[in-house]
Amino acid sequence: MSDDFIPIGGMVPLTGASPGDGREFRNGIILACEEINRRGGILGRLLKPSFADTGTQTAEETVRAARRLLAEGVHAIIAGYNIGSQNSEYEAIADAGIIYIHNNTLLQHHDTVMSDPVRYFGCFMSDPAEYWYGQGFIKFLSWLRDSGQWRPDNNRIAIVSGPKPYSIVIANAMAQAAEQFGWRPVFPPRILRRIPGDWRPLLDEIRAHEPAVMALTHFFAGDLARFHLQFMEQPLPSLLYLQYGALHRSFSELVGDKGRGAIVGTVIGLPRDEIGWRFFNTYKQRFGPEATPEIGCQTYNSLHHYAIAAAVAGGTAGPGGAEQNRRLAGILLDLPYRSVSGTIRYHPLWQAAVPYPDATNDPSLGLPHLFYQLRDAERPPALIAPEPFADAAFEAPPWLTPT
């Protein structure tokens, strides 16, 4: 076995607004490196991770982190999400000609890659764009309605977005798809330029429309918790959807049992199948009971997929090795990978994971868009859709159930 290590960059937010997620992203890379190295590395060369902090994930901080890693000569950069950079870091990475796999969950990735596929050959997003949250949620709602699991009083939906591009895109996608599926937005997506401390005036405004559904696409767990506690003071007669952050431990710690009944979705999570549980236990054993494998799985998946593609392509290359990295990128595109989160199959044009059932009807060819319903604080959220991943049934939220 060679002592000549392959340097792998981890570009993760270890300070700023999401250090918790950043730690998990780092853990995912560490665990994947350990597993790959135990099996002999990539064609006999061991992986050596190196991490750069992206702080508050602004363009400046993310680009600075990317440049630092490139200066170290990393052969690939693996990242969780850095969603404030608006793809600014792509330029430095494209100039270096290395592989970059992230989970930014942004539609911008499609646009950037498709604008110049030759230049951005190495940039991959190993989860689906946030756009699919919107369309997928409308299908989920319609499925609940059409299958008789939930009988809405009307077809009205109130959609509220935070100020981040991620939230805005999801809200717009929901509104766009709503009418086709028989839903009527009570107003165009309400984009909040500032997250309020007091949500009550907005909730009162929405209450006047009596919507059957309310969706909040802002995603910071703390903000969602504050919103939810105020929502529960006088609940709307609506099904409530909260964006991804409500799956965080910090959300359930803040809202306790009051969270029960809310719907939350994620386009990359950990299905409760044999593969998912095995990873769950391994991750907890390695990083402790407080660790969150549902987040760490993202970078873990990306690095394993990269290692397989690199072995098939005949090896890796650092900055300046675009020719070898183009071969590696071609294998990533050609070779679907059944990760612990489901199948990562890169779309040939978007270079982003294709979601199931949003963009493919075949669960073996897409990453499942999972819908959870929160239960009591001490119980894990129920995974209620889609088949064949669901392990529980939808329950009417307590505020919609006559006492």
Partner 1 sequence: MPAAGDADATGDGTQGSRARAFEALGHGLAVWSGDLKLVTFNAAFARRFAGLAGGLAPGLSQRALIEAIEGSSQLVHSVPPEADPGGPPRLGPLDGLTLIFTDSQVLRVECRAIAGGEVSSLFIDITEYWRIQRALERSRDTAAAADQSKSRFLRAANHDLRQPLASLKILIYSCLSATSEQERIEALHAMDVSASIMEDLLGALLNIGQLDAGKVAARIQTFQVATVLDRLRIQFAHLAREKGIDLRILPSKHAIESDRALLERVLSNFVGNAIRYTDIGRVLVGCRRHGKTLRIEVHDTGCGIAPAHREKIFEEFFRVGGQQSGRHSLGLGLNIARRLADVLGHRITLESTPGKGSMFALDVPLGDVWRSNVGEPEINEKIGGEFTGLCCLVLEDDHHLRDALMTLLRRWGINVEIFDAFDDIPAALKALERTPDIIITDYRLRGGVHGTEIVHQINDLLELPCPAIVVTADTSPDLIADIRRQGFPVMIKPVSPPGLRVIMHNVLFEPELVPELS
Q: Which of residues 338-367 bind partner 1 (CB under 8 A)?
A: 349-350, 357, 359, 361
Task: Let me know: does 10 contact 25? Beta carbons within 8 Å.
Answer: yes
Residue 306's closest CA among 71, 111, 51, 49?
A: 49
Residue 338 identity: R
Among 176, 230, 250, 282, binds partner 1 (CB under 8 A): 176
According to the binding rule CB under 8 A, does residue 173 interact with partner 1? yes
According to the binding rule CB under 8 A, does residue 153 interact with partner 1? no
Q: What are phi and psi of 367, to 5 degrees?
A: -85, 125
Q: In whole angstroms, how close is the CB of 193 to partner 1 at the nearest point?
A: 6
Q: In whole angstroms, how close is the CB of 291 to partner 1 at the nearest point?
A: 32
Among 169, 215, 240, 332, binds partner 1 (CB under 8 A): 169
According to the binding rule CB under 8 A, does residue 315 interact with partner 1? no
According to the binding rule CB under 8 A, does residue 393 interact with partner 1? no
Among 193, 201, 274, 402, binds partner 1 (CB under 8 A): 193
Q: Give 7 or 165: the residue with its C-beta nearer to partner 1.
A: 165
How many Å apart are CA 62 and CA 141, to the nearest integer?
36
List of E strands, 204-258: 213-216, 239-242
Q: What are phi and psi of 393, to 5 degrees?
A: -105, 155
Q: Which of residues 50-109 bind partner 1 (CB under 8 A)?
A: 59, 85-88, 90-91, 107-108
From residue 337, give the alpha-carbon distance in Å to each of 306, 342, 345, 365: 10, 8, 7, 9
How many Å apart are CA 187 and CA 398, to the nearest integer?
26
Q: Are strands 370-373 and 382-385 parallel, antiparallel or unpaired?
A: antiparallel
Q: In whole angstroms, how close is the CB of 202 to partner 1 at the nearest point?
A: 17
* Sheet with strand 123-125: strands edge to edge: 45-53, 2-12, 76-79, 99-102, 123-125
Task: Let me know: does 32 contact 283? Beta carbons within 8 Å.
Answer: no
Q: Give 115 or 401: the residue with its C-beta nearer to partner 1.
A: 115
- Reduce the DSSP state of residue 216 to 3 states and report it: strand
Structure token pair of residue 34: 């350990």
Query: In sequence order, what DSSP letters do the residues of 12-55 get, joined into one string?
Result: E--STT-HHHHHHHHHHHHHHHHHHHHTTTBTTEEEEEEEEE-T
Among 104, 126, 135, 373, binds partner 1 (CB under 8 A): 135
Q: Give 174 or 310: the residue with its C-beta nearer to partner 1.
A: 174
Q: Give 141 or 310: the residue with its C-beta nearer to partner 1.
A: 141
Among 33, 92, 157, 177, binds partner 1 (CB under 8 A): 177
- State how far Cα 186 lies from the chain centre: 28
Q: Give 50 or 360: the residue with its C-beta nearer to partner 1.
A: 360
According to the binding rule CB under 8 A, does residue 160 interact with partner 1? no
Burial of 249 (C-beta count, 10 Å sphere; 0-12/13-18/19+)? middle
Q: In whole angstroms, how close is the CB of 71 to partner 1 at the nearest point?
A: 20
According to the binding rule CB under 8 A, does residue 394 interact with partner 1? no
Long-range contacts of 113-117 (CB under 8 A, 24+ apart): 113/349, 113/350, 113/351, 113/352, 114/349, 114/350, 117/349, 117/351
Among 25, 121, 131, 394, binds partner 1 (CB under 8 A): 131
Q: In whole angstroms, how close is the CB of 112 to partner 1 at the nearest point?
A: 8
Among 3, 115, 208, 274, binds partner 1 (CB under 8 A): 115
According to the binding rule CB under 8 A, does residue 179 interact with partner 1? yes
According to the binding rule CB under 8 A, does residue 191 interact with partner 1? yes
Q: Give 169 or 263: the residue with its C-beta nearer to partner 1.
A: 169
Give residues in contact with partner 1 (CB under 8 A): 59, 85-88, 90-91, 107-108, 110-112, 114-115, 129, 131-132, 134-135, 139, 142-143, 145-146, 155, 163-165, 168-169, 172-173, 176-177, 179-182, 191, 193-194, 349-350, 357, 359, 361, 386
